[in-house]
Structure 1
Amino acid sequence: MMKISRNFLSLFISDGITRLIGFAATVYIARLLAVEGFGLISYGVAFISYALLFANPGLTVIGAREVAKAPQDRRFIEETLGLRLMLTIVIFTIFFVGTRFIPGENTTRQIILVYALALFPFAILLEFVFQGREEMQYIGVGRILQSGVYLALLVLFLKGARDILVVPISFVIGYVISTLFLIVIFLKRYGSLRLRFSFSQWRMILTAAIPVGLAIIFNQVTISLPPIVLGIFETSYEVGIFSAGYKIVFMLLIIERVFYYVFFPILSKQHVQNPEKLKGNFNLLTRFLFALTIPLAIGGLILAPRLINLIYGHAFHGAINVFRILLLYFIIVPINTVFGYGLVAIDQERRFFKVISITALLNTVLIVLLGLRFSVYGAATALCISELASIVLMKRELRKFVRFRALGFVFKPLLASLFMAAGLVLLLQWNLIILMLTGVIVYVAILYVIQGFTRYDVANIKQIFAKKSSDRTKK
């Protein structure tokens, strides 16, 4: 098996570890704070997610790109940091004033304000610098430090519902530690660093960054809006139930991140160097993703009650069907990521932005309408519908430039998954771990028998990774 580059391993291993730690922290919070307390925390997290986006409207994406072009241009780095800090001051001020008008208990406002303090370390977080310099190992260590400190503080100081403010305080401290770590590494490797305040340069940076930032913000609406809508129109119980189901799906979506980071640069290079290979690789990626996500989703449908009970306890029984609905979302999102960033890879980012804008608007309307009518189940269904609309539009736009198949690759993984599902139902009383392992064995065996993947497909996958590794080595 071909050796994958150090940057690839550093980033994805760290992302996996970070998600595991974050998931452990989520479970710990849910079990100690119960549904209502967990709902309040999820409400606060939704607000800070938006705050972080508006304080960074595409600046880190543009920043990483410019650093990659000119790694020694320290002035640009310093101007970007100055701009991010200025935007942070503005956004924090808006939050400080705006929380006075948020309905609910005083504790809710306190949670949101403490979370908002994370804006300041985030403003000077140097991840974009190390990303541009292709030094992913430092980003990985910083992320593990952030999540590790967060979990450690929770275990030490969160003992019950009365300690609810420990959660956002620990979150902020974790960000501070991660930011300080990257600053120390930068100073040791590259010398001094300061903030620059240049309004003329800020205008130029923002002009380049805002289109990217708007696309990211619109996409984040899909993720963060349900807890906010449920928090306003329902109770913290519904927010907690929805968040419990979504957190598991979020953990599974590490698949999406892996495929994005690995294949986006490959598709970008092929668009310039070997455009005739794009069709084959889009076909291969779609087939491979369906082969991963469909069995996980069908297995999750069957095992949902046991998984929710094992992870969260009996109090979160209401999250079972939310989780089941969101498993459809889990199947769609990675495919949509390939199609969407496929458009960006072939220099069609305006079409990507157009689709994101349309589906974000659709998602907002559906979450409000279905959330009001059907509560948590309506909000989960709204996510699925808007993501389905997005994948249809993304595919239509992409096929204007690259002709490839998509739905035809569903059937073999689906057939193998149905055999697996039958086995899971028959053996449902078995130990959960043994049951899951049995499901994997049955699925892989059936997929092999029906030739879900050929030797040619496997050879193509190896060739892609080999190409990526050789490119890194040449650099």
Structure 2
Amino acid sequence: MGTIKIIAKNTTILYISEVLSKFLGFLYVMYMARYLGAEGYGIISFAMAFTGIFAIFMDFGINQLSIRDISRDKTITEKYLDNILMLKVIIGIIVYLSIIIIMKVIDYNTTTIFVVYIIALSTLFNSFNQTIYSIYQSYEKMEYMGIGKILNSILMFSGVFLAVFLNLDIVKFAYIYLMASIINFIYCICVLSIKFVKPKLSVDLKFWRWLLKEAIPFGLGGIFISIYFNIDSVMLSAMKGNIYVGWYNAPYKLILILLSVPAIYTASILPTISKNFNNINNLKKIYSTSFKFLFSMSLLIFVEIYLFAGDIINFIYGIDYKPSVTALKILIFVIPIMYLTYLSGSFLSVTGKQKYLCNVVMLNAIFNVLLNYLLIPRFDILGASLATVLTELIGLFLMVYCIIKYFFKLSAIDLMLKPLFCGGLVFLISYMLKESVDWIFLSIFGSLVYGVMLIVADKQIKKIVFDLYNEFKAKI
């Protein structure tokens, strides 16, 4: 199979698996959050965030390193896999014991502690799954990884549905995460043994030292990202309680789902950016066109969700999450920022500015912790939401500054004026009609009006939309 066909196949598989897993994930999170209520869902969210910070130490960039090396030389697969699995067993034991010790020291109730212990075990199994996924990626067999993601989502959805039907408690919900990760691990081991290599445990201390040393550049970035995405929930739990974590994570999970759009888009244009590395004019065209397209999409999402935040929260989570409405109205400001952050970060990562990007991520993590420390005690979930928005805004500013300084200048007016004008008109129309028209119908109507206006007003957007449509139609 040719290179282009391989890329197309892998992109399609990952896109389909991402859409299906995100959709099922959205359904089971909505179902679980409604059943458990804000406090119960807050306990689960805290456990996921707390163990998520520790999970990065299980990997520390080793998976990314193995993808890079095994992709170049398949003969080293067994050596890497066997040593990494053994290394992760040892690190996993240390990480799990550390979690136990910290939870003993922190003053949490028995239910929360037990849920953390179960979720932590699930996180350890997921770390082994990610290692095996890296083998699939190295061999460009994304279908096995896609199946694994979908399988996990199906297991979680089925488990949550069964738990609600049987009226089970929160601890049983934690076991759903554990059972899903174990079954997924069994699937990964079976596929690995049949299609690739039979895994064994191996100890090569010299190789371990080299492996950890080489993985440091990958691992540091992962640590800062993990802290940034999880520390707000942990700090909210410690300072305000788990019910606040539940109220905060309800809109936060919606934001994370919406971020799959720029993630897929930027992943698809990375090869093109890399190919045009030495052509500044082409780089500018790719970046500016993508900037305008992603900003236009994010602006529509911002307008619709900001206007109908109350209806959306009540429709998805129920009346128990009323305090989440204001948090969503603040958090939604992060969507236009992060859509451009995904693009700018990906651009810098493939144009030789990885070190600068790592420094930005580090500063973001530090700044986010400080802001949460200052804002959460006074403004609780609104403070955590504001900290997220301000942190992302600073990160985007630093990334765009680097692009302007080292690559090309950008005109904010050319890139943002037409989307802002069209978005402003849709906002005004929707705002005037929202009291008399059903919010679902009005959001669909507003989206269509916005799309038509933008396609008519901007030739670049029109070209991108029709190119994407034709590409999608061709693949279908």
Q: TM (normalized to structure 2)?
A: 0.92
Which residue of 291, 295, 302 corresponds with 2:300? Answer: 295
Report the Cα distance in structure 1 between the residues aligned to 2:83 and 2:223, rounded to whole angstroms: 22
Q: Kindly indicate whether the alpha-carbon contact (under 8 Å) linking 1:48 and 1:116 is maintained by their aligned counterparts in 2.
A: yes
> Does residue 146 of structure 2 align to residue 133 of structure 1?
no
Report the Cα distance in structure 2 between the residues aligned to 1:196 and 1:158, rounded to whole angstroms: 43
User: Which has the larger displacement, 76-85 or 39-48?
Assistant: 76-85
Aligned-partner residue type, residue 139 of structure 1: M
Structure 1 residues 251-262: aligned runs within 5 Å: 251-262=257-268
- Label 1:250 to 1:406 Cα distance change in 2 as closer, same or farther (>3 A): farther
Which residue of 319, 325, 333 corresponds with 2:324? Answer: 319
Report the Cα distance in structure 2 between the residues aligned to 1:330 and 1:87, rounded to whole angstroms: 36
Which residue of 66, 88, 96 corresponds with 2:69? Answer: 66
Give the equivalent residue in structure 2 for 1:392.
Answer: 397
- Label 1:260 to 1:59 Cα distance change in 2 as closer, same or farther (>3 A): farther
Q: TM (normalized to structure 1)?
A: 0.92
Give the equivalent residue in structure 1 for 2:122.
Answer: 118
- Label 1:441 to 1:262 Cα distance change in 2 as closer, same or farther (>3 A): same
Which residue of 92, 96, 103 corresponds with 1:99? Answer: 103
Structure 1 residues 221-370: aligned runs within 5 Å: 221-271=227-277, 274-370=279-375
Aligned-partner residue type, residue 374 of structure 1: F
Q: Kindly indicate whether the alpha-carbon contact (under 8 Å) linking 2:289 and 2:460 is maintained by their aligned counterparts in 1.
A: no
Which residue of 156, 163, 174 corresponds with 2:162? Answer: 156
- Label 1:414 to 1:460 Cα distance change in 2 as closer, same or farther (>3 A): same
Displacement of 1:48 in angstroms is 1.8
Displacement of 1:423 in angstroms is 2.6
Structure 1 residues 389-468: aligned runs within 5 Å: 389-405=394-410, 407-408=412-413, 409-428=415-434, 429-451=436-458, 453=460
Report the Cα distance in structure 2 between the residues aligned to 1:334 and 1:199, rounded to whole angstroms: 42
> Does residue 13 of structure 2 align to residue 24 of structure 1?
no
Displacement of 1:8 in angstroms is 0.6
Aligned-partner residue type, residue 430 of structure 1: V
- Label 1:348 to 1:242 Cα distance change in 2 as closer, same or farther (>3 A): same
Query: Secondary structure, in 3 states, of the residue corresponding to 1:5?
Result: helix
Deviations 1:200-252 (A, max 9, x none): 11111111212211112212222111111110110222111111111111111
Q: Kindly indicate whether the alpha-carbon contact (under 8 Å) linking 2:334 and 2:389 is maintained by their aligned counterparts in 1.
A: yes
- Label 1:254 to 1:357 Cα distance change in 2 as closer, same or farther (>3 A): same
Q: Kindly indicate whether the alpha-carbon contact (under 8 Å) linking 2:115 and 2:174 is maintained by their aligned counterparts in 1.
A: yes
Report the Cα distance in structure 2 between the residues aligned to 1:39 and 1:368, rounded to whole angstroms: 19
Report the Cα distance in structure 1 between the residues aligned to 2:300 and 2:86, rounded to whole angstroms: 47
Report the Cα distance in structure 1 between the residues aligned to 2:193 and 2:168, rounded to whole angstroms: 41
Deviations 1:279-301 (A, max 9, x none): 11111111111011011101111
Which residue of 72, 78, 84 corresponds with 2:88? Answer: 84
Q: Kindly indicate whether the alpha-carbon contact (under 8 Å) linking 1:32 and 1:160 is maintained by their aligned counterparts in 2.
A: no
Aligned-partner residue type, residue 423 of structure 1: I
User: Which has the larger displacement, 187-196 or 140-149?
Assistant: 187-196
Q: Kindly indicate whether the alpha-carbon contact (under 8 Å) linking 1:222 and 1:363 is maintained by their aligned counterparts in 2.
A: yes
Query: Secondary structure, in 3 states, of the residue corresponding to 2:202?
Result: coil
Q: Kindly indicate whether the alpha-carbon contact (under 8 Å) linking 2:55 and 2:124 is maintained by their aligned counterparts in 1.
A: no
Which residue of 369, 380, 386 corresponds with 2:385? Answer: 380
Displacement of 1:427 in angstroms is 3.0
Displacement of 1:324 in angstroms is 1.0
Q: Kindly indicate whether the alpha-carbon contact (under 8 Å) linking 2:250 and 2:324 is maintained by their aligned counterparts in 1.
A: yes
Displacement of 1:422 in angstroms is 2.3
User: Which has the larger displacement, 155-164 or 38-47?
Assistant: 155-164
Aligned-partner residue type, residue 443 of structure 1: Y
Query: Secondary structure, in 3 states, of the residue corresponding to 1:15?
Result: helix
Deviations 1:292-348 (A, max 9, x none): 101110111101111111001111111111011111111111211221221110122
- Label 1:245 to 1:454 Cα distance change in 2 as closer, same or farther (>3 A): closer
The runs of 5 or more residues in structure 1 that have no matched partner are 470-475
Report the Cα distance in structure 1 between the residues aligned to 2:53 and 2:34, rounded to whole angstroms: 26
Aligned-partner residue type, residue 112 of structure 2: T
Give the equivalent residue in structure 1 for 2:152.
Answer: 146
Query: Secondary structure, in 3 states, of the residue corresponding to 2:75?
Result: coil
Q: Kindly indicate whether the alpha-carbon contact (under 8 Å) linking 2:340 and 2:396 is maintained by their aligned counterparts in 1.
A: yes
Q: Kindly indicate whether the alpha-carbon contact (under 8 Å) linking 2:299 and 2:419 is maintained by their aligned counterparts in 1.
A: yes
User: Root-mean-square deviation (CA), in Å?
Assistant: 2.2
Report the Cα distance in structure 2 between the residues aligned to 1:287 and 1:404, rounded to whole angstroms: 15
- Label 1:256 to 1:83 Cα distance change in 2 as closer, same or farther (>3 A): farther
Which residue of 177, 197, 205 corresponds with 1:199? Answer: 205
Displacement of 1:197 in angstroms is 1.7
Q: Which contiguous aligned blocks of 4+ residues in structure 1 show a shift greater than 4 angstroms? A: 159-162, 454-463
Q: Kindly indicate whether the alpha-carbon contact (under 8 Å) linking 1:55 and 1:119 is maintained by their aligned counterparts in 2.
A: no
Deviations 1:74-103 (A, max 9, x none): 212222222222211111111122211122
Identity across matched positions, percent:
24
User: Which has the larger displacement, 351-360 or 445-454?
Assistant: 445-454
Query: Secondary structure, in 3 states, of the residue corresponding to 1:117?
Result: helix
Aligned-partner residue type, residue 360 of structure 1: A
Report the Cα distance in structure 2 between the residues aligned to 1:199 and 1:191, rounded to whole angstroms: 22
Report the Cα distance in structure 1 between the residues aligned to 2:461 and 2:238, rounded to whole angstroms: 51
- Label 1:347 to 1:81 Cα distance change in 2 as closer, same or farther (>3 A): farther
Displacement of 1:5 in angstroms is 1.2
Which residue of 39, 42, 59 corresponds with 1:56? Answer: 59
